[in-house]
Amino acid sequence: MIGGIEYKLWLDNKPVEDAFYTMIETVTVEQGIDLACEARLEVEMCADETGGWSGPTDSYATPWKRLRLEIRNQTSEWIPLIDGPVVSWDAQMSGEPGQSTFTLIARDDTETLNQVARIATYEDTSDRDLIVQILTDAGFAAAMVEKIPPQPQDRPLKHIQRGTDIEMLRSIAEPYDLHVYALPAAVGTSKIFVTRLRLQGTPDVPTLILNGADRNVETFQARNDVSQATRFQFLPFDISTLAVGKDTLTTKWSGDDKNVDKKVDAHGKTIPAITRVGDTVQFLAAKSTVDDLNKLGTQILSPYISAFRDVIAVGSRAQQRASYTITASGAVRYGCYHGVLRAYDLVTVSGANAKLCTTYIVREVTHTMSRSEYRQDFTLMTNAVAKAAEVKRPTPAGVH
Q: How far apart are CA 336 and CA 340, in angstroms?
A: 12
More confident residue, 17 or 233: 17
Highest mean pLDDT (candidates 209-213, 251-255, 275-279, 360-364): 360-364
Asked if the structure places residue 166 within a domain, the reply is: yes
pLDDT tens for 27-64 read 999 999 999 999 999 988 776 656 566 666 666 777 88
What would the mean pLDDT of 258-287 be, rounded to a whole number? 51
Grouping H, G, I as helix, E, B as strand and the rest as coil, residue 58 is: coil
The alpha helices in the chain, defined as continuous H runs, are 18-23, 127-137, 165-173, 311-321
Check pLDDT > 60 for residue 236.
no
Backbone phi, psi, residue 125, to 5°: -130, 125
pLDDT at 168: 95
More confident residue, 262 or 57: 57
Backbone phi, psi, residue 78, to 5°: -85, 130
Q: What crossing angle do the helices spanning 127-137 and 165-173 adopt, rounded to 10°?
A: 160
Q: Measuring CA to CA, which residue among 113, 139, 127, 28 is closest to residue 373?
A: 28
What would the mean pLDDT of 207-231 be, rounded to a whole number? 91
One domain, residues 9 and 98: yes
Q: Measuring CA to CA, which residue among 21, 97, 111 is closest to residue 63?
A: 111
Asked if the structure places residue 344 within a domain, the reply is: yes
pLDDT at 47: 65
One domain, residues 79 and 28: yes
pLDDT tens for 310-331 read 777 787 788 888 889 999 999 9
pLDDT at 260: 37
Q: Which of 291, 321, 351 is the last residue of a domain?
A: 321
Give residue 206's identity as a one-letter amino acid code.
Answer: P
What would the mean pLDDT of 346-366 be, rounded to a whole number? 92
Asked if the structure places residue 157 within a domain, the reply is: yes
DSSP 82-98: EEEEEEEEEEE--SSTT
| Total of domains in the chain | 4
Asked if the structure places residue 203 within a domain, the reply is: no
Q: Measuring CA to CA, which residue among 218, 157, 197 is closest to residue 317?
A: 197
Give residue 192's identity as a one-letter amino acid code.
Answer: I
More confident residue, 232 or 50: 232
One domain, residues 13 and 47: yes
Asked if the structure places residue 99 within a domain, the reply is: yes
CATH, residue 40 = 2.30.300.10
Q: How far apart are CA 7 and CA 45, in angstroms?
A: 21
Asked if the structure places residue 374 within a domain, the reply is: yes
One domain, residues 218 and 178: no
Q: How far apart are CA 253 and CA 268, in angstroms?
A: 16
Check pLDDT > 80 for residue 280.
no
CATH, residue 180 = 3.55.50
Check pLDDT > 60 for residue 196.
yes
Give residue 335's identity as a one-letter amino acid code.
Answer: G
One domain, residues 336 and 309: no
One domain, residues 12 and 158: no
Mean pLDDT value across the chain:
81
Chain mean position to CA 239: 33
Asked if the structure places residue 216 within a domain, the reply is: yes
This prediction has a pTM of 0.84
Sequence-distant (6+) residues with CB within 8 A of 262 are 270, 271
One domain, residues 218 and 234: no
Q: Which of 55, 82, 108 is the last residue of a domain?
A: 108
One domain, residues 9 and 103: yes
DSSP 186-215: STT-EEEEEEPPP-SSS-SSPPEE-SSTT-
One domain, residues 351 and 364: yes
Asked if the structure places residue 83 within a domain, the reply is: yes
Residue 258 belongs to domain spanning? 227-321
